[in-house]
């Protein structure tokens, strides 16, 4: 009641100090733009500046409930089997504790997918405690994406072939839709009207010879209405690749980015050192760019981590440059979008993701093999700075925290 009364007094132009204080007591905190770096094997998230020196600001424990979660897993034989399979497969012998991560609109919490625990959690930035937890169907959570207004988060459930859409503040499921096998990347398009999901099929076997491609399962893009969660279209790149004369390439769409006007989709596919350009209006592949191989990288497909030779794409705000993480080839490079000419090959240790700095000037890659993030200037293609982070960084996302935040206080 005091808050309502204060609003009435302020509206009348009479500012009573006591009432004005009451009226602003619950005002949202001023926010600072940052980057969240998910350290997958560490179970932590480093918070760094979103541009400039990319200096460290603080660190968040994304698995404060680890003991509780492991106890529950070991008491469930099916859950334990999946947990161990994830650890020895995609986790390369490690727990996968942070896959993807975002901030809530008010900047008070971090929301992360935790593959080994098969869930999405919200972590309070002030206390480092779990605010809510959503267990995904099928035991393993993966890539996420936040709606343009920041209120919803879509998360892939790898083993159930579904995407769940959650209220990012409460964790309540708002809807879900079916995908191909092993849903992976999610992208909101058209101002939040649609959700595009890319399924990559079975990447956990060594049946990687092209003649055994049929064992990899159903791989396609699923486009769902973000209001009704009904699937409105599916796109299998197999026929589009064949029509372009590239029957040799996999149709498992990995990281992907749209041009700023959403007319072109750029994506990576399993086993390929390069990327593909797809025209949305004509439903055709228009160009394919093959990037250099590292002579020190084996062509043995069974040595590629989860079938991904290159894994990570971003586009600068102007839409003129693409940044490519050449994961197994140990480099990243900036590519001119008009000519598809690559720039300098910037040496990097198993770069696993590429995003854009807050000021739009740099591409920021996660070097999972060196436990650092590195910024590369979109204009020059040259390395700007590297910053040490936790064990096996993967996803890097723009986020917001309260001004003055440097870490949990309790």
- Domain locations along the chain: 2-402
The whole-angstrom distance between residue 268's C-alpha and the CA centroid of its chain comes to 15
* Rounded-to-integer distance, Cα 353 and Cα 337, Å: 19
* Rounded-to-integer distance, Cα 172 and Cα 329, Å: 41
Q: What are the backbone dihedrals phi and psi of residue 343, each rounded to the nearest 5 degrees, phi first?
A: -95, -155
Q: What are the backbone dihedrals phi and psi of residue 5, each rounded to the nearest 5 degrees, phi first?
A: -65, -40
pLDDT over 60 at 14, yes or no = no
The pLDDT value given to residue 95: 94
Q: Do residues 354 and 323 touch, judged by C-beta distance below 8 A?
A: yes
The pLDDT value given to residue 5: 31
pLDDT over 90 at 266, yes or no = yes
pLDDT over 80 at 10, yes or no = no
Confidence of residue 11 (pLDDT cuts 50, 70, 90): very low
In the chain, what percentage of residues exceed pLDDT 90?
88
What average pLDDT does range 14-27 have in this prediction? 41
- Could you tell me the CATH superfamily of domain 2-402? YVTN repeat-like/Quinoprotein amine dehydrogenase (2.130.10.10)
The pLDDT value given to residue 92: 85
The pLDDT value given to residue 382: 98
The pLDDT value given to residue 28: 72
Confidence of residue 12 (pLDDT cuts 50, 70, 90): very low
Instruction: For residue 255, give the 3-state DSSP assignment.
Output: strand
- Between 147 and 24, name the one with better pLDDT: 147
Residue-averaged pLDDT of the chain:
92
The pLDDT value given to residue 21: 36
* Rounded-to-integer distance, Cα 234 and Cα 172, Å: 27
* Rounded-to-integer distance, Cα 28 and Cα 44, Å: 26
The pLDDT value given to residue 26: 59
* Rounded-to-integer distance, Cα 371 and Cα 373, Å: 7
Question: Lowest-pLDDT range, 18-27, 123-132, 305-314, 385-394?
Answer: 18-27
Q: Do residues 114 and 122 touch, judged by C-beta distance below 8 A?
A: no
What average pLDDT does range 65-75 have in this prediction? 96
* Rounded-to-integer distance, Cα 150 and Cα 148, Å: 5
What average pLDDT does range 323-334 have in this prediction? 98
**Residues 176-229: tens digit of each pLDDT:** 999 999 999 999 999 999 999 999 999 988 999 999 999 999 999 999 999 999
The pLDDT value given to residue 191: 94
**pTM, full prediction:** 0.91
pLDDT over 50 at 8, yes or no = no
The pLDDT value given to residue 29: 79
* Rounded-to-integer distance, Cα 283 and Cα 217, Å: 23
Question: Lowest-pLDDT range, 23-37, 84-98, 136-150?
Answer: 23-37
pLDDT over 60 at 64, yes or no = yes
* Rounded-to-integer distance, Cα 164 and Cα 325, Å: 28
What average pLDDT does range 62-83 have in this prediction? 94
pLDDT over 90 at 72, yes or no = yes
pLDDT over 70 at 3, yes or no = no
pLDDT over 50 at 278, yes or no = yes
Confidence of residue 410 (pLDDT cuts 50, 70, 90): low
- Nearest CA to 147 among 206, 185, 191, 204? 191
What average pLDDT does range 106-129 have in this prediction? 97
- Nearest CA to 193 among 232, 161, 142? 232
Q: Do residues 355 and 364 touch, judged by C-beta distance below 8 A?
A: yes
* Rounded-to-integer distance, Cα 111 and Cα 102, Å: 5
**Strand 274-279 relative to strand 264-269: parallel, antiparallel, unpaired?**
antiparallel
The pLDDT value given to residue 7: 34
* Rounded-to-integer distance, Cα 142 and Cα 51, Å: 27
- Sequential DSSP letters for 1-51: -HHHHHHHHHHTT---HHHHHHHTTTPPPPEEEEEEEEETTTTEEEEEESS
Q: Do residues 241 and 213 touch, judged by C-beta distance below 8 A?
A: no
Q: Do residues 365 and 351 touch, judged by C-beta distance below 8 A?
A: yes
* Rounded-to-integer distance, Cα 398 and Cα 34, Å: 6
* Rounded-to-integer distance, Cα 114 and Cα 377, Å: 31
Question: Tokens 């982070």 — which residue?
Answer: 389
């Amino acid at each position: 009641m005091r808050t309502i009364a204060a609003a009435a007094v302020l509206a009348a132009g009479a500012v009573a100090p006591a009432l004005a204080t009451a009226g602003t007591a619950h005002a949202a905190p001023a926010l600072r733009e940052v980057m969240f770096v998910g350290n997958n094997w560490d179970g932590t998230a480093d918070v760094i500046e979103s541009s400039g020196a990319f200096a460290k600001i603080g660190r968040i424990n994304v698995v404060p409930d680890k003991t509780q979660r492991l106890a529950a897993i070991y008491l469930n034989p099916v859950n334990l089997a999946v947990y161990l399979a994830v650890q020895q497969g995609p986790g390369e012998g490690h727990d996968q504790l942070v896959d993807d991560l975002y901030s809530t609109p008010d900047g008070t919490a971090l929301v992360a997918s935790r593959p080994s625990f098969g869930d999405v959690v919200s972590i309070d930035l002030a206390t480092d405690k779990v605010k809510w937890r959503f267990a995904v169907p099928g035991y393993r959570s993966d890539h996420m994406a936040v709606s343009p207004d920041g209120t919803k988060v879509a998360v892939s459930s790898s083993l159930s072939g579904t995407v769940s859409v959650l209220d990012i503040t409460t964790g309540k499921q708002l809807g879900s839709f079916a995908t191909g096998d092993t849903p992976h990347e999610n992208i909101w398009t058209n101002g939040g009207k649609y959700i595009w999901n890319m399924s990559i099929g079975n990447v956990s076997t060594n049946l990687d010879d092209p003649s055994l491609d049929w064992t990899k399962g159903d791989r396609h893009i699923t486009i769902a209405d973000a209001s009704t969660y009904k699937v409105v279209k599916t796109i299998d790149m197999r026929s589009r690749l064949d029509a372009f004369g590239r029957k040799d390439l996999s149709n498992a769409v990995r990281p992907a980015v749209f041009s700023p006007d959403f007319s072109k989709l750029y994506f990576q596919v399993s086993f390929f050192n390069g990327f593909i350009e797809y025209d949305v209006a004509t439903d055709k592949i228009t160009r394919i760019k093959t990037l250099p191989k590292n002579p020190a990288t084996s062509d043995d497909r069974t040595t590629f981590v989860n079938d991904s030779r290159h894994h990570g794409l971003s586009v600068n705000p102007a839409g003129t440059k693409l940044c490519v993480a050449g994961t197994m080839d140990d480099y990243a490079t900036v590519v001119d979008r008009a000519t598809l000419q690559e720039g300098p090959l910037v040496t990097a240790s198993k770069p696993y993701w590429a995003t854009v700095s807050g000021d739009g000037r740099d591409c920021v890659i996660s070097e999972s093999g060196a436990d650092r993030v590195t910024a590369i200037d979109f204009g020059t293609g040259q390395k700007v700075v590297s910053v040490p982070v936790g064990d096996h960084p993967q996803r890097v996302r723009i986020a917001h925290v309260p001004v003055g935040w440097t870490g949990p206080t309790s």
